[in-house]
Amino acid sequence: MTPELSQRLSAAGLDPQDVENLVHTALDEDGETDVTSTPIFAPEHTSTGDLTAREAGVVAGIPVACAVFEALDVAYQPKAEDGDHVVPGQTLISVSGRTRAILRAERTALNLLTHLSGIATAAHKWTKALEGTKAKVRDTRKTLPGLRALQKYAVRCGGGVNHRMGLHDAALIKDNHIAAAGSVTKAYEAIRSVYPSLHIQVECDTLAQVEEALSVGADSILLDNMTDAQMTEAVRLVAGRAELEASGGLTLDRARDVAVTGVDYLAVGALTHSARVFDIGLDFT
């Protein structure tokens, strides 16, 4: 990988080596020989082409797609930046090189670019819905194996914010932890005794659990499947002493109603597990 591309990925908060490994894994899935292109095009045959947006939205994954082309010695020229709002017909990347290599790179580059741009576009829609409130849309750990860093990066490109990256960087006491430990207090105290400075969030199904979580000193409280009225009351009870995050069954249509209750975050797993791919195509010029 060239130093320039490596720097672009690092600046985006991505590990260049992880991206390079992912690219090679994806390319390897297609096998060593393209039995369609090899008989048609001589090794020295060259082409140029453009990756073009076919709908309006927010793009993410430009340097990742470039890493695919670079891996196959295809020259590329980015025409857009991650986080850009693009329109139908807008060129995102121009490529040139051996025709066989471009066609081999095409699907892998598009798979990554359309998926990440779909997430960014979805995150942007939620961000727009929350404008004028203090609430922000936040992702979850409901990500595809091996793609978490990229998917969470795409959320940031769309204006959303990230929750914890994994089980290692913050504690989230959920219903099964509470059931097995015996109470919110017991679960919280067990974690705090081992990790005195760790951020601890507690999932609460009832206002009574909210009061208990607050009493033990939870840094953040997840309001799980609560009504708007219950969340409004939770905001009153907490009075700024902990972060509040709404979760469970949230939809874009309901987003603003939830935000005006006063919560700090809306947890939306659909950003990463159900985002529709963004329509992008590669056409030879």
* Predicted confidence (pLDDT) per residue in 246-284, tens digit: 999 899 999 999 999 999 999 999 999 999 999 999 999
In the chain, CATH 3.20.20.70 sits at 128-273
Rounded to a whole number of angstroms, the distance between the first and last alpha carbons of the chain is: 26
Overall average pLDDT of the 161-186 stretch: 95
The phi, psi pair for 49, rounded to 5°, reads: -160, 170
Sign of the torsion formed by the C-alpha atoms of 27, 33, 36 and 41 = positive
Report the alpha-carbon distance of residue 132 to residue 130 in Å, rounded. Answer: 6
Catalytic residues: 107, 142, 174, 203, 224
Higher confidence at residue 32 or residue 42? 42
Q: Per DSSP, what are the bridge partners of residue 50?
A: 94, 283
Q: Mean pLDDT over all residues of the chain?
A: 96
With tokens 């990440």, the residue in question is: 116
The predicted structure's pLDDT at residue 21: 97
The predicted structure's pLDDT at residue 107: 97
Report the alpha-carbon distance of residue 205 to residue 225 in Å, rounded. Answer: 7
The predicted structure's pLDDT at residue 32: 87
Looking at residue 17, the DSSP 8-state letter turns out to be H
pLDDT tens-digit series, residues 5-28: 999 999 999 999 999 999 999 999
Report the alpha-carbon distance of residue 187 to residue 195 in Å, rounded. Answer: 12
Domain boundaries 128-273, CATH class = alpha beta
- CATH tag, 3-119+276-284: 3.90.1170.20
Q: Is 207 exposed, middle or buried (0-12, 13-18, 19+ CB in 10 A)?
A: middle
Decide if 243 contacts 116 (C-beta within 8 A).
Answer: no
pLDDT at 72 over 90: yes
The predicted structure's pLDDT at residue 225: 95
Residue 83 binned pLDDT confidence (cut-offs 50, 70, 90): very high
Residue 52 binned pLDDT confidence (cut-offs 50, 70, 90): very high
